[in-house]
Structure formats: C-alpha cells, structure tokens
Amino acid sequence: MENYEDLSEVRVVVRGSRAGRRLLEKLAVEADRQKRPLFLPKIATIARIVDELFTPPSGLLPAAPELTQKLAWMEALCRLPQEKKSKLFQTPEGVGRSGQPELLLAQRLLTLRNELGGEGVSFAEVARVMSEKMPETPETEPERWELLEDVFGEVRKILVKAGWMDPAERRAVLAEKGTPQQVQVVLAGVVE
C-alpha cells in the first residue's frame, strides 16, 4: 500500500464477501496508521466481478436476480408431473395438498444450482459421476440428478422467456465469448 494511494481502478477478487469486508478493514486501518488518504479498490467475489472484467457479446441476456431465479424454480417444479415430483421430494408431514413444498424445494435447488454452477458443474454431470464412480450409490440417486437437470432445463426456458439468464451460465459465456477489459486485477487471500 505504500506505493499506492489511489486504488480506485484496481479490482480485487476475494473468495467470499466476509473476506472482502476483512480486506477493507485492513486497508482502512493501514491508511489511518500512515495518516494518508486512500481511494479504495473495488473488492468483489469472482461471481460479482466477471461483469466488470468482460464486455458481453451482443444479445447476451442479463443475469437473473435471486428472487426471479427462485420463482422460476418454483414454476418449473409446479409444472412437473406428480410422479416425477415424488422422485424429488417427499411431502413433509403436516403439508396437505394445498401446501406448497415447491417453494421450499425451489430455494434449496437454487442454492444447490448456485454452488454447482459456480464450479461449472451441471446436475447431469453429478448423475454421471455417481453412476460411474460411486457404485454403492442407490440407483435412484443418479435418476434424481438427471431429473434435476430436466427441471433446470425448464428453469432456463422460463428465465429466457422473461428476458433473463442463469447467472452461472452467463459468467461462463462472458469468460468464453466476452471481450476482456483492460483493468488491473489482484487475487487476494484474506484470513477470515
């Protein structure tokens, strides 16, 4: 930091938002210790910074907000025939036919999709790995993951029809087909 006062054009990529807050705290303490002004860098996780690092190709849809994604998952689950639904989840005790287990499952599946998508892994790939490398897995498990891939295909259609795109898929397209911008990027590891 001794060589830099203006870090406003620097992008710092951290593992998680807590690490980002910790880095900001450390920078502020160091600037105060040195009694000098500091123009902070833009600190973000890889999921958030990709948009700043690449100019999207024309026609690329924006990333769907979390609520939109959750509603798309819920809609896709509601469209699923009952015999397929029963392969994905059991209706919890106390939830009658008027209950909406799709709402609870939509949030869980969105979280799971975000974790897998962040690693560039699909539900179908999980099913394939289970079948090939985990022979002790009950045969219903790979089937469930294949069904999740089908449901995600429906989610994708719902999002596109509404003018949105799955964020993980959008990041992959940006990285592959976007135009890199000329910015200074620092990858930081911060002990949390």
Whether residue 166 is predicted with pLDDT greater than 90 in this model: the reply is yes
What band does 93 get if pLDDT is binned at 50, 70 and 90?
Answer: low
pLDDT given for residue 152 in this prediction:
98
CA dist., res. 147 & res. 18, Å (int): 34
CA dist., res. 8 & res. 79, Å (int): 47
Say which range, 1-5, 139-143, 173-177, 188-192, has the weakest mean pLDDT. 1-5
Q: What is the mean pLDDT of residues 93-104?
A: 63
More confident residue, 102 or 79: 79
Counting residues of the chain whose pLDDT is more than 90, the rounded percentage is 43
pLDDT in tens, 103-161: 888 999 999 998 898 788 999 999 999 999 998 888 889 999 999 999 999 999 999 99
Fill in the amino acid letter for 106: A
More confident residue, 18 or 74: 74
Mean pLDDT over all residues of the chain?
86
CA dist., res. 186 & res. 152, Å (int): 34
At 189 the three-state DSSP class reads coil
Give, as one character, the DSSP assignment of residue 92.
P
Q: What is each CA distance from 27 to 34, 39, 145, in whole angstroms? A: 11, 10, 44
pTM score, whole prediction: 0.75
Taking phi over 0 as left and psi of -120 to 50 as alpha, with beta for the rest, 98 belongs to alpha
pLDDT given for residue 19 in this prediction:
85
Instruction: Using CB atoms within 10 Å of the CB of residue 21, give its burial: 0 to 12 exposed, 13 to 18 middle, 19+ buried.
Output: middle
Nearest partner of 64 among 15, 127, 117, 11, judged by Cα: 117
What band does 73 get if pLDDT is binned at 50, 70 and 90?
Answer: very high
